[in-house]
Chain A
């Protein structure tokens, strides 16, 4: 606190005597010139006073909630009152989200927070940090004890959580058949995944018998064949309304489920032990239904994609085969025998054969001619032709020596053309060494 502030507040003008003996050391009364404050100064002064009070900074107050409001800011404003007094209270968005309950008109609550002044309006109010329903203290303690015990047993472990079936065919629903919860679930399923079958197990979800009913309902659905998953759901309510979902028997029955269990109880902020043990925790019943099944809206696109892929693959296969055929065809074309060329070759060969034969024939003819010429040359006719003559005796003996024919012997002389009948006039024998003189 500054000196100036102390000066402002520590001198109550009314207490100073108007007249009479003055204390010589006392400061002169300031009545003559009162310090005029601005409103904001005043409010700041009040706020500072409240802020330094350790008790007001940490108070626990029990009272009844009146007229809570939830403006778009997300905060909650309400009046906390008892029979004779009231105070404005605010629960900021973060604390509201963390609170287990939502303030309702008439709700008896215990709040923890601090008192501060709100300068702009010159009011003081309760800034609430936690808010719990009055009388819930006992319940809350039991809840915490049970939660700790079951957690120690591992019932809430993540590795116990099973994935939900992708395309459930039969879905068990354990809930009250009366009211919007069942209707919401059926509507969500009708819209999202009408391919499934919902099997409703009607049960009370509130009241003393609720826990037993839920356990019976769950066991009943467990005994059914072909149930792919179970939804356990209930609408929102007070902590007492939801209490059966904190019942140990219910929690253990959920843990023992042979198929995955989706729990959707109350509002977003309601967390029960059933939520902890569920395979999937949904914030609301509708959300539970949404998580339980896929949305058929995605299937037309999936189906067309599959069909397109099939067509593309088929087309690719056909194109591939066609290309293969074309290649084979080209290969065949390369390998096909060239008939024209062969024919040409054959013709050539034939010609050559003919030619070769022709040459041989000509040679043969020439040889033949030569031979026949030679033969002709050797024949007497040819000799006669050259002018020689053959003389024969009457008996036809060829005269080779002059001694064979004495004078007067008749000779027949053959010339090339014709024969002469002659007589020898004289004989002239040849010299001894001369023998036949033939051309």
Chain B
């Protein structure tokens, strides 16, 4: 939780990690037994994480990749079944 604040670092991390860290930050803030400076730092971190999550949701595009070549044989007749 002492990582430097920066959207650059956050941008590279998986969404679930970001939201999990945000949850930890919130819980730490709610526990409320931190020195003021650390609380403020944590709160800033939380805002950065929140912003990164929102940006990720806004810009999310499904990635599709394929293992192996397409099928060379003709597709099964039932494959087009609705």
Contact = CB atoms under 8 A, between A and B. Distances in A.
Interface of A: 166-167, 169, 172, 176-181, 186, 189-190, 194-207, 209-210, 220-221, 224, 234-237, 241, 296, 299-300, 302-303, 306-307, 309-311, 313-314, 316-317, 320-321
Contacts of A197: 62-65
Contacts of B36: 317, 321
A166 B16 contact: yes
Interface residues of B, number: 43
A201 to B, nearest CB: 5
Contact of A314 (B39, B71, B78): B39
Interface of A is mostly: mixed
B62 A189 contact: yes
Given A181-B81, A198-B62, 15 more contacts: A169-B16, A180-B81, A194-B60, A199-B67, A200-B66, A200-B67, A204-B76, A204-B79, A205-B79, A206-B76, A220-B67, A235-B82, A299-B53, A306-B22, A307-B50
Interface string B16-58: 1001001101100110101010011001001100100110110
B66 A194 contact: no
Interface of B: 14-16, 19, 22-23, 25-26, 29-30, 32, 34, 36, 39-40, 43, 46-47, 50, 53-54, 56-57, 60-68, 70-71, 73, 75-82
6 contacts: A179-B80, A194-B62, A237-B78, A237-B81, A309-B29, A310-B25
Contact of A194 (B61, B78, B79): B61
A296 B19 CA distance: 12
B60 A202 contact: no
A206 B68 CA distance: 19
A408 to B, nearest CB: 121
Most buried by B among A195, A196, A224, A234: A195
A235 B79 CA distance: 7
Contacts of A189: 62
Most B Cβ at <10 Å: residue of A221, A235, A241, A307? A307
A221 B67 contact: yes
